[in-house]
Amino acid sequence: MFLNYATMNSRVLGFCHRVFIKWFLDALCYWYKDGNQKLIYAGKTTGNFGFKYFPNAKVLKRKEETKMKIVNSLTCLVAVAATCMVSACTGISLRAKDGTVVVARTVEWALSDATHDRVVVIPRGKKFVGLTPEGENGKKWVGKNGFVSLMAYGEPFGPDGMNEHGLYVGMYYLPGFAEYKKYNAKEADNSFSVGDCMQWLLSSFKTVDEVRANFDKVNVVNVEDKRFGGAPLPFHWKISDPSGKSIVIEMVEGGKVKIYDAFLGVITNSPTYDWHLTNMRNYLQLSPSPRPNIEVGNMTLTPLGGGSGMMGLPGDYTPPSRFIRAAAFTASCRPLKDSTDAVSEAFRILDSFNIPLGAQLAPKAIPEDIVGATQVTSASDLTNRVYYFHSMHSRQVNKIDLKKINFATVKQSVISDPSTRTFVTKELSPGK
């Protein structure tokens, strides 16, 4: 018997599948059946995984040891796959007629309550020390800009943030594809973690062009964080500024930096950004215009209602489908008058990406401390330096006006309002 995995696209399946297949087949090579035939791993040949039965082969390990190895492999796959499944963020950008630039995104994290509804205020002139696998011995720098950022598990960084000049930085999950530079202790003074990178970008630069020119001058390395289960934190970044420029930065293949112009400001998750750009060619038929009537024999066939031009638009929550949907909704967005109109429309579009927990997790896997996979939705007015968000608990939109913060004198602080965790309603009654 020979099992061939040639049809598996290892790049799309990602590292969790490739590693699991290798471990699983390694375990199977120790398994035997009927006491005579032994299942021996044939290894990776001609780019394919496979294994064969060989009669009279030597049993290499005891059955009990093999069982344990398979269990460990399955456990690893479940842990990694669960992390891939519960983080599914979507980002867009809009521009109003008056020139206002708004970037917005959803933040999905269905493992536990990450307290994303808290915002940290970081002053100008803060002294930073980067974190490496060895501890707090990484890159040191002094922040030139003040900024605000959503938080994650109490850390002074999170899904996204904006600085006092309107530079926006958003982190989006990229499991199976993101690969940071290998840590070199000799280069510790120029190395830091993913979270440090976000703070470095916001505190150091004013424009997308500055980020593009300087990103490859530092070493972003993986630093395990027990609050995230000790799992790697594979991210790519969306960077935007008030000019409307927007880029996506990815680190792949051992830390190679890839920078793309963000198509319509859209970003989701895996695979890599170039894959999503190619995938759009599968949806050339999408149009905001309704399908025309067609004559077939003696019958005239007409569309069944509005929106027929978008038939074929993917509606599931996978990153490729969300990317296409976000691009379609951004491209077909109505004309926007001003900042208020653009922010309102950004939240309206992102309503289509708000994920209920039950749509991502089996009933027994749903955490008890959160009510939605989409824990927070944010919108950043880069032109007017105003940060907006609402949480999974309340649809009430909160805003922070960065122009009203004196980043030269403000102390690092956390903005936490109980109303962001309360479902707020307003009762209306007939007038007298």
* pLDDT for position 230: 58
Contact (Cβ atoms closer than 8 angstroms) between residue 128 and residue 199: yes
Distance between CA atoms of 30 and 284, rounded to whole angstroms?
50
Query: What is the rounded average pLDDT of the residues 317-325?
Result: 96
All domains of the chain, ordered by start, with CATH? 10-81 (no CATH), 87-421 (3.60.60.10)
Positive or negative, the CA dihedral 311, 317, 320, 325 is positive
Residue whose token pair is 């375990």: 27
At 369, the pLDDT band (50, 70, 90 cuts) reads confident
Residue 91 has pLDDT above 70, yes or no: yes
First to last CA, the chain: 83
Q: Are β-strands 235-240 and 246-252 bridged in parallel, bridged antiparallel, or unpaired?
A: antiparallel
Spatial separation of the C-alpha atoms in residues 52 and 328, rounded to whole Å: 48
Cβ atoms of 194 and 204 within 8 Å: the answer is no
- Interval 344-366: pLDDT, tens: 999 999 999 998 888 878 888 88
How do residues 391-425 score in pLDDT, each as one tens digit?
988 899 999 999 999 999 999 999 998 888 888 88
pLDDT attached to residue 216: 94
Model confidence over 203-226: pLDDT tens digits? 999 999 999 999 999 999 999 876
- Structure confidence by residue, pLDDT tens digits, 270-297: 999 999 999 999 999 999 998 899 999 9
Q: Is the pLDDT of residue 65 over 70?
A: no
Tokens 């069982």 belong to which residue? 67
Inter-CA distances, 139 with 189, 235, 348, Å: 4, 20, 40
Residue 45 or residue 373, greater confidence: 373
Average pLDDT over residues 221-232: 72
When pLDDT is cut at 50, 70 and 90, the band that residue 305 belongs to is confident
Measured from the Cβ of residue 183, the count of other Cβ atoms closer than 10 Å reads 16
Total-model pTM: 0.80
Residue with the larger pLDDT of the pair 263 and 289: 263
Residue 229 CA to residue 111 CA, distance in Å, equals 10
Order across the sheet with 256-261: list the strands.
Answer: 256-261, 246-252, 235-240, 168-173, 160-163, 147-150, 119-122, 413-415
Q: Which of 104-118, 254-268, 375-389 has the lowest mean pLDDT?
A: 104-118
Q: Is 294 exposed, middle or buried (0-12, 13-18, 19+ CB in 10 A)?
A: exposed
Asked if residue 50 has pLDDT above 50, the reply is: no
